[in-house]
Amino acid sequence: MTALRDRLAALLDSRAATPALRLDAATYTWGELRDASHRFFRVADAASHSPARRIALATADPLLTAAALLGALLGQRTLILLHPRLTAAERDAQLAASAADLLVADSPIAASIPTCAVDREVLLQGSAPEPARASSGAPLLLLFTSGTTGRPKGAMLSLEALWAAAAASSERLETGPDDRWLACMPLAHIGGLSILLRGLHDGLLVVAQPRFHAGAVATALHDEAITRLSLVPTMLRDLIDAGATPPPSLRTLLLGGAAAPPDLVRRAIAAGWPIATTYGLTEAAAQVTTATLAQTAAAPGACGLPLPGYRLRITDPAADGVGQIEVASPSLMTGYHAQPEATAERLRDGWLRTGDLGLLLPDGQLRLVSRRSDLIVSGGENIYPAEIEAALRTVPEVAEACVVARPSDRWGQEVGAMLVLRPGASLTLEALREALADRLATFKLPRLLRLVHALPHTAGGKVDRRAVADAFAAAPKQT
């Protein structure tokens, strides 16, 4: 690990004058980002009165995220990325699960552990001596993905895994220093963060936007001569609906984060967008398979072949070939932080059991059938029903709850909640969303509500999620 860190430090030195990040009409070189990372950790260490080994970051600012990432890389720290849209309760749960020493944000914030604020002025001004290094055995990143129990799980990603992922992506996509990659996905997600890592690997320029807005993306694509773009299907649909057109410079639109509807892919290709569908997940440091432009055009529902050095298999296939997707690659997580049982369930003999369902086409391409059996992917955000159900059960009017995915033209999927209320209680969708607003991020709130006298159950006594989903399909309107 030390050898790789030293090699990357030397790489940063060699690129000190090379543009690395463009944000809000300003361009920052790799040398400026390296210095910003030193300032970031100097402030963090002062706030914790010692070298902070496990730092949580809650921000939507790409510059702050880039500085923290490089600082963790160079200083052998663990960086814990928290989604900026989390509620205080969700954030505190992840802080507790991660054993973070300190929470850093771009503005003052209240939390269950010591905090400090670091803004752009702090990052860009003053001396920048290199901070102390921490233990060489620390994972570089901790990224949270909710488990089927609703308990947050922190996937531990080493520097070696992240670098292997960047190298494999570069080989498949043939990216290089002449590329300009537009990053408009949350950098607290592996899909957004991996763009920064590809920038470091290839020396390409990352053009960052703090959040997705179809109009702003459409403008930036042309004004910045963007060559690469990463989107989830909801973003692509919004971009097309807004009348955006691909610039002549665009070589690849990497489309992932959720199963891409074939009709959307065909519509995009017909409009001239160079679509490359991809499949990946946090536990494998993003990309696992990626299709070429020709493969996407020929099979819009497929996700391509495994990246170089990656292996893929389908286990326990049904008669139609659909089974669980398993992955072996040098980019796999080392495990879930402080959750050995969950780790043992997912990592076996060098293979990651994704829980996602798919099948292999005759040419070896993966077709993703569905994400983890009960996972809801809404606008590229992963939502686990168990987490929502636990929150629903705190609402005084609710006796029982079951949450399922419902199709959405805009979001791909959305949250549908079937509830049994307590005797004499009443509840509207608006009142329910208001009651949950402090517990759940907005994208996790139910958008559809069904009130019933009793939830359906299987013969074994468990709530029958399939029957709940069927009931929504039969009568999708709110009742």
Instruction: In whole angstroms, give the CA distance from residue 446 to residue 385.
Output: 10
Residue 459 has pLDDT above 90, yes or no: no
- Is 155 in contact with 282 (CB distance < 8 Å)? yes
Contacts of 125 (CB under 8 A, 6+ apart): none
DSSP-H helix ranges across 76-158? 88-98, 120-124
- Is 228 in contact with 252 (CB distance < 8 Å)? yes
What tens digit of pLDDT does each residue of 156-174 get? Answer: 999 999 999 999 999 999 9
Q: What is the torsional sign of CA 394, 346, 255, 143?
A: positive
Pairing of strands 141-146, 78-82: parallel
Residue in the block written with tokens 């636990």 = 390
- In the structure encoding, which two tokens stand for residue 371, read together? 């994400």
Burial class from Cβ neighbours inside 10 Å (0-12, 13-18, 19+) for residue 351 reads middle
> Stretch 269-281: mean pLDDT, rounded?
97
What mean pLDDT, rounded, does the chain reach? 91
CA-wise closest residue to 383 among 404, 365, 362: 404
CA-wise closest residue to 165 among 64, 280, 11: 280
Q: What is the DSSP letter of 107?
A: S
Residue 148 has pLDDT above 80, yes or no: no
What tens digit of pLDDT does each residue of 47-105 get? Answer: 988 888 899 999 999 999 999 999 998 888 999 999 888 888 889 989 999 999 999 99
- Considering 49-53, 139-143, 162-166, 189-193, the range whose residues carry the highest mean pLDDT is 162-166
Answer yes or no: pTM beyond 0.75.
yes
Domains in the chain, please, with CATH?
2-370 (3.40.50.12780), 376-474 (3.30.300.30)
- In the structure encoding, which two tokens stand for residue 398, read together? 């609710």
